[in-house]
Amino acid sequence: MKKILIYVFAGLVVLGIIGSLMDDGSEDNSQSETKSSQNNSQSGTRIEETELAMSMSMSIEKALGKKDYSTVKERIAQFAEKHPSSPKNEEYKKLIEDVKEKEILLEETKKLEELNKTGNWNVKFYQDDFGNTTNVGYIDYSKTISGKYTGPIVDDGDIEATLALDKEKASIFLVTQGLLGQAVTNSMGPEFPTKYAIKIQDNNRKQYSCSGIMNSDRILIYSPEKLYDALEVGGKVMLVIQEIEAMAPSKYNITIDNTDYFRNAFRKLSEK
């Protein structure tokens, strides 16, 4: 009987030892799994951070290629905030200085390009009686200037105008449709008075007035400053030209649709 009890007790001891070992193994396995999960999570986070850094770097390079320097500076600031310990930050600091210089150069280039634009205006030169080009320049308008006119026998007729503008005077050529449909350039004759009252409205609806005199095939404005002031505003400019000292005066309404860059064209004319 004593032997049996001894064997039973010994068996219980062995079982206890085995159980203890199993518990220890379970805890070790649990700790190992926890550490592995943490390592995997940290590894995943590092991969995500690396991918984000690469994406931001590519975004910086893309903006740099497009010369979008404001976006470059914005992306570099974001990169430094997200990845303060990245060695790329030193490289980007130097890049920021380079970008600032390029911004200044780009702004100067844009200003120069803007100054050289003349829009619908052309700088040309008068010719002498033999067709030789002189050194006296003028500006003309490359697009059609159209409008309407009324007269003793015409109401709401179509008209086109051509401009020749120089430093001393402005010339306006008016072309209407004749009875047979052909173009007729208005010229000085008994049916045309020699003086015109001219009203001008600029793109801001500011109004000016001046006078003109018929000379051969054109109306001359010898003090064109007010006309030029209106043209310098840019945008649309309208003119109302009316005969004075006539029993039944004709009136011409013309519109210059886009006078942008007149100032540049006139400056180029002055440089000649």
Contact 169, 139 (CB under 8 A): no
Between residues 188 and 67, which one has the greater pLDDT? 67
pLDDT given for residue 157 in this prediction = 85
Structure tokens at 249: 């005066």
Could you list the beta-strand ranges (E) of 26-156.
Answer: 121-127, 133-141, 145-150
**What mean pLDDT do residues 197-226 have?**
93
Contact 180, 188 (CB under 8 A): no
The confidence band for 193, taking pLDDT boundaries of 50, 70 and 90, is: low
pLDDT reported for residue 17 = 46
Instruction: Give SS3 for 150.
Output: strand
Share of the chain above pLDDT 90, in %: 34
- Whether the CB-CB separation of 73 and 64 falls below 8 Å is answered with no
147 closest CA partner among 242, 52, 75, 234? 242
Of residues 4 and 197, more confidence is placed in 197
Instruction: Give the residue with greater pLDDT, 195 vs 192.
Output: 195
User: Residue 188's pLDDT band (boundaries 50, 70, 90)?
Assistant: very low
pLDDT score, position 182: 47
d(C-alpha 104, C-alpha 109), whole Å = 9
CA distance to 54, 74, 162, 183, 198, per residue, from 266 (Å): 52, 41, 17, 30, 21
Count of residues making up the chain: 272
CA 213 – CA 245 distance, rounded (Å): 12
Beta bridge partners of 121: 141
Return the pLDDT at 245: 79
List pLDDT tens digits, range 219-268. Answer: 999 999 999 999 999 999 999 999 887 777 889 999 999 999 999 999 98
